[in-house]
Amino acid sequence: MVNFPFGLIALVVISILIYFGVAHRVLDRLRLSDKAALAVIAAIIIGSFIDIPLGPRIVINLGGLITVGLAGYVLLGAGTSYEKIRAIVAAGVTALALFLAGRFLGAEPENMFIDPLYIYPIVAGIVGYLAGRSRRGAFFAAVIGVLTLDVGQYFYLVRAGQAGTVHIGGAGAFDALILAGILAVLLAELIGETLERIQGGPKTEGRPEELIKNLQEPEPARKPAEIYKVKGNDNDQQKDDQDRGDEHD
């Protein structure tokens, strides 16, 4: 029986949620449509089975590379320069947190209550959200934080002269990239939405008009039949008012 990475399972679940329209709000914040998100997820899943060797010591997974590209796209869609700068700084903070986690938590993995492989996405997701705060900033920080750790591992092996091959964005790192990004966005969505409700809505004072518009809830889409029905009701109401006026005359 084939064992699929947990990251692939998570992507399939998210695809189902997107198909049924559950993740529409989150995708709006990430500047993605439903079709675009499904296309990107399909590309990531297919790319996860393709490894691109770059020399004898480094292998890049295509699925992981697409995920990093998605993080870059999300960063470009950030509303303000401040959000972009904060996301980049947050990625550095996340990478540092992962490095420290590897140093202090990975010493005796057999004594840990959870697979060390999943400690990294958990740490990256939490720190990415706390440092990035926005949904876009959190996703970028979590994904790039994990990527930075992989790249750092490569330079460590080269400098120390140790044998080994680094799989950037592949193998266990693929799970870490995907799960870290998903967890960061979920935390930003759940905690951010809860705080907004407690505060009576998103803060608008001192914010650009364009950003305020993006923070507002989009109006629910109506089918053509519903629009015609609404217009028909309006016309009927106007006709009734006119008839009542004629009666009074």
pLDDT in tens, 214-228: 555 445 444 445 444
Same structural domain, 247 and 154: no
Judging by DSSP bridges, how do beta strands 58-61 and 51-53 pair with one another? antiparallel
Same structural domain, 113 and 12: yes
What is the rounded average pLDDT of the residues 12-39? 89
CA–CA–CA angle 98, 141, 108 (5° rounding): 15
What local confidence, expressed as pLDDT, does residue 107 receive?
A: 47
Confidence (pTM): 0.75
Q: Which two tokens stand for residue 195?
A: 């705080």
In the block, tokens 């490095």 appear at: 99
Same structural domain, 12 and 121: yes
Residue 79 lies in a domain: yes
What local confidence, expressed as pLDDT, does residue 96 receive?
A: 93
Residue 92 lies in a domain: yes
Residue 1 lies in a domain: no
Same structural domain, 143 and 232: no
Instruction: Quote the CA–CA distance of 71 and 90 in Å, as a whole number.
Output: 13
Residue 125 lies in a domain: yes
133 torsion bin: left (phi>0), alpha (psi -120 to 50), beta (else)? left
Same structural domain, 170 and 205: yes
Same structural domain, 20 and 122: yes
Same structural domain, 121 and 183: yes
Same structural domain, 210 and 231: no
User: In this structure, are residues 51 and 59 in contact, taking their beta carbons and an 8 Å threshold?
Assistant: yes
User: In this structure, are residues 100 and 145 in contact, taking their beta carbons and an 8 Å threshold?
Assistant: no
Confidence band for 2, pLDDT divided at 50, 70 and 90: very low
| Three-state secondary structure call for residue 72 | helix
Strand residue runs (E) in the chain: 51-53, 58-61, 166-168
CA 104 → CA 5, 34, 39, 97, 99, distances in Å?
25, 41, 39, 11, 9
Pick from 174, 91, 100, 96: nearest CA to 138: 91
What pLDDT digit, counting tens, does each position of 165-211 carry?
Answer: 888 887 667 788 899 999 999 999 888 777 767 766 555 555 555 54
What pLDDT digit, counting tens, does each position of 35-85 carry?
Answer: 999 999 999 999 988 989 987 888 898 999 999 999 999 999 887 899 999
| Three-state secondary structure call for residue 61 | strand
Same structural domain, 25 and 97: yes
What pLDDT digit, counting tens, does each position of 105-142 carry?
Answer: 654 555 555 666 778 889 999 999 999 988 999 999 99
Residue 72, C-beta contacts closer than 8 angstroms, at least 6 positions apart: 140
Same structural domain, 161 and 236: no
Residue 98 lies in a domain: yes
Instruction: Quote the CA–CA distance of 50 and 47 in Å, as a whole number.
Output: 5
Number of compact structural domains in the chain: 2
Residue 51 lies in a domain: yes
Instruction: Quote the CA–CA distance of 36 and 87 in Å, as a whole number.
Output: 23
| Three-state secondary structure call for residue 97 | helix
Same structural domain, 163 and 239: no
Residue 109 lies in a domain: yes
Query: What residues make up the domain containing 241?
Result: 223-249
CA 126 → CA 98, 131, 148, distances in Å?
11, 9, 16
What local confidence, expressed as pLDDT, does residue 248 receive?
A: 45
- State the Cα torsion 200-203-209-213 to the nearest 10°: -50
Confidence band for 230, pLDDT divided at 50, 70 and 90: very low
Same structural domain, 120 and 240: no
15 has pLDDT over 50: yes
